[in-house]
Amino acid sequence: MNVAPLRKRPAWAALEQHHKKMRDVHLRQLFADDAGRGEKMTAEAAGIYLDYSKNRITDETLGLLLQLAEQSGLRAHIDAMFRGDKINVSEKRAVLHVALRAPKGATILHDGKNVVPDVHAVLDKMAPFAERVRNGEWKGHTGKRIRNVINIGIGGSDLGPVMAYEALRHYSERTMTFRFVSNVDGTDFAEAVHGADPAETLFIVSSKTFTTLETMTNAHTARDWLLAGLKDQAATAKHFVAVSTNAAEVAKFGIDTTNMFGFWDWVGGRYSMDSAIGLSTMIAIGPANFRAMLDGFHEMDEHFRSAPFERNLPALMGLLAVWYNDFFGAQTVGVMPYEQYLKRFPAYLQQLTMESNGKHVTLDGVHVDYNTGPIYWGEPGTNGQHSFYQLIHQGTRLIPCDFIAFAHTLNPLGRHHDMLLANVFAQAEALAFGKTAEQVKAEGTPDWLVPHRLFEGNRPSNVILLDKLTPAALGKLVALYEHSVFTQGTIWQIDSFDQWGVELGKELAQRIIPEFEDAKEPKLAHDSSTNALIRRYRKMKGSG
C-alpha cells in the first residue's frame, strides 16, 4: 500500500485542527458530559481489560485516530508482518516474532518456507534439556546437580529473560538460583558468582550474534572462573550451553553445538524472550508454563491481527501514544505496574519501545518532521507514589501513564492487595480529576496555601486490568506492548526493527580500548575532551 507522508494524510491535518479544540478540554468536563464514559471507553480482549476513558479524547478524537491508522496502512502492515514480508527494510529482514508463539500446525512462511516446525523443533529440544536441569539429571562435571543458572547476555538477550524470571518467580523452581550477567562492568559478573560453587553452576551464553563485546567478555571470564574452580578443560561441556543464531562462533568459543539452542535472523533481539533466548525462563518455570506463556502471546497476536481497530487493544494504545506524543508534545510515557513481580517490566519496555521507535528517518530515509518514539519509564506502584509521582500530579509536564494491575495477588496477605488496588485506582482518579481551588478551600485551607494544595488534574492514563499474573498473562501483556510499538512505528513510517543507533558507540569503544593498553602513549586523534579523558584515566590507573 502506498502511504502518504504523515503530514499529508488527511486525518493528520484533521487531528491538528481537532487538537486545538481539545487541548483545553478537561477530563472533568468529558466525564460530566457523559455518565457512561467510564464503561464505554473500554475494550477487552484475551483477558485484558483496558480502561482508556481517562484520556483526553472524545469519540471524534478516536474516529480521527482510527482514520489515521487506516490512512497509515496499519492493516496492510500487520498483514505484511504476519506474511513474512521483509518489513525491516534497512536490514532487509522479515519480522516474525509472532511465529515464535504460533501453535504447532500453523503455517507462517519465510522465503517460501514454513518456519513453525523449526520453532517447535527448538522448543522440543529446549524442553527435555530444561527438565533434565530442573530434576537434577543433567549433572555438572563432577557429578553434582546444577543449582545455579546464570544467563550471560545483554539487551534483548538479557532484559527479556530477567524480566520474565522476576515476573514469574512465583512459578519458578525455588531450589535453584537464577542470575543474570549483562554489564561489561566486572562487578556484574563478580556479584553473580559470589558464593556460587562452579561445580553446581550452568552458564547459558545468550547472544544472537555471539560477537557482542560485553557478552563475549563475560563468557570468557565465566569460563576462566569455572576452570579455576574445576581445574579441568573438559568441564565446560557440562557447564556451558549457548543460545544463538551463529553456530560457527559458538563452536569457536568451545561450546559443543549439540548444546546450542538456535533461533533466526527474523527474530529481533528485543523481540526474542519467547525464542530460545528464554531458555533460562524455561528452566526456571518449566516447559509447561513456558508454553502457556507462548499461548498468551499468541492470543494477543491473533487479537491484534484480526480485531477491528476500535476494539483492538494494541492499536488503541499505540494511537493514544501518538496522540500525546505528536499533538500534546508529551515526551514520555510512564508505565507503572502495581505488581511487585513486574519490577523489571519498565526496564524491559525501555528497550522494546525506545530501540524500536527511537528513529529519525522514515523507511525511505527521509528525515521526519514530527516526533517519533517517546521515552518510556516507570517503577512499580505504590513505591513511585512516594517519589516521582509528585511531578506527574503537579509538575509542568504532561506524562500519560499506563497503570497495570491484577485482580488477584499471588501472595494473599491480609488486606495488602485491596490497599494496592485502591491506590492504583486512586492515582488514576487523582491524575484525571485533581482537586479544585474550591475543594481545597472547603477543606479549611488558608488562601495562601491553596495554590500549593491544588491539583489541576487532566493528566491522562490507561488502566490495564488482568485477573492474575500467570505465564499466559505475561505473554499477553508483552505482546500488547510489542504491537502497540508496531502501531506507533507504522503511523510514523519508521523501521521499528533495526537499531543502527547503537553502533557508533560500539565502534568508538573498540577504538579506545587499545589506547589504554599501549605502554607508550599512542597518538590520540579524538576531540580534545575525549583525548584528555583518556590521558587522565591512563594516569589515574597508573599506566600513563
Select 72 or 499, whichever has its Cβ closest to ligand F6P.
499
Among residues 8, 360, 506, 539, the one annotated as catalytic is 506
Residue 458 and residue 392: Cα distance in Å, rounded?
Answer: 11
Reference 455, options 435, 481, 484, 432; nearest CA is: 435
Q: How far is the CB of 51 from ligand F6P (least distance, A)?
A: 33
Between CA 474 and CA 487 the distance in angstroms is: 20
The only residue of 53, 71, 151, 212 in contact with ligand F6P, by rule CB under 6 A: 212
Enumerate long-range contacts of 103-109, CB under 8 Å, 24 or more apart. 103/295, 103/298, 108/82, 108/84, 109/83, 109/84
CB 259 → ligand F6P: shortest distance, Å? Answer: 18
As measured in angstroms, the least distance from the Cβ of 153 to ligand F6P is: 6
Query: By CB under 6 A, is residue 502 in contact with ligand F6P?
Result: yes
| 393 touches 459 (CB < 8 A) | yes
Q: For residue 329, give the nearest of 400, 394, 378 by alpha carbon.
A: 400
Among candidate residues 92, 194, 367, 386, the one labeled active-site is 386
249 vs 194: CA distance, rounded Å: 28
> Would you give the DSSP letter of residue 455?
B
Q: Is there binding between residue 400 and ligand F6P (CB under 6 A)? A: no
Tally the C-alpha atoms within 13 A of residue 324's C-alpha that lie toward its C-beta.
Answer: 28
- Regarding 496 and contact with ligand F6P (CB under 6 A), the answer is no
Nearest-approach distance from CB 88 to ligand F6P, in angstroms: 12
Cβ proximity to ligand F6P: between 157 and 201 the closer is 157
Shortest Å distance, C-beta 156 to ligand F6P: 3
According to the binding rule CB under 6 A, does residue 208 interact with ligand F6P? yes
How many residues touch ligand F6P under the rule CB under 6 A: the total is 14
Side chain identity, residue 260? M
Q: Which is nearer to ligand F6P, 212 or 462 (CB)?
A: 212
The answer to whether 359 contacts ligand F6P (rule: CB under 6 A) is: no
CA 496 to CA 499: how far, in whole Å? 8
d(CA 268, CA 272): 6
**Which residues 420-479 are close enough to bind ligand F6P by CB under 6 A?**
none
Q: Shortest gap between Cβ of 277 and ligand F6P (angstroms)? A: 8
Active-site entry in 166, 339, 355, 379: 355
Using the rule CB under 6 A, give the single segment among 207-215, 440-448, 470-478, 535-543 that binds ligand F6P. Answer: 207-215
Q: What's the grid cell of residue 480?
A: 500488547
Q: Is 317 in the site for ligand F6P (CB under 6 A)?
A: no
What CA–CA distance (Å, rounded) separates 269 from 184?
Answer: 18
Residue from the set 58, 215, 356, 372 that interacts with ligand F6P by CB under 6 A? 215
* Residue 208 vs 393, nearer CB to ligand F6P: 208
- Closer residue to ligand F6P (CB): 207 or 325: 207
> What is the C-alpha separation between 232 and 172, in angstroms, rounded?
32
Runs of H (alpha helix) within 169-235: 186-193, 213-230
Residues 132-191 within binding reach of ligand F6P (CB under 6 A): 154-157
Q: How far apart are the first and last CA of the chain?
A: 60
Residue 355 annotated in active site: yes
Contact, 504 vs 97, CB < 8 A? no
Closest CA to 68 of 28, 34, 24, 18: 18
Q: Which of 93, 270, 344, 393 binds ligand F6P (CB under 6 A)?
A: 270
Q: Return the CA Rg of the chain.
A: 25
* Identity of the residue, 176 or 479, whose beta carbon is nearer to ligand F6P in the bound complex: 479
Q: Looking at 15-23, 201-209, 318-326, 511-519, which segment touches ligand F6P (CB under 6 A)?
A: 201-209
Q: Is 499 in the site for ligand F6P (CB under 6 A)?
A: yes
**Which positions are annotated as active-site residues?**
355, 386, 506
Contact residues for ligand F6P, defined by CB under 6 A: 154-157, 207-209, 212, 215, 269-270, 355, 499, 502
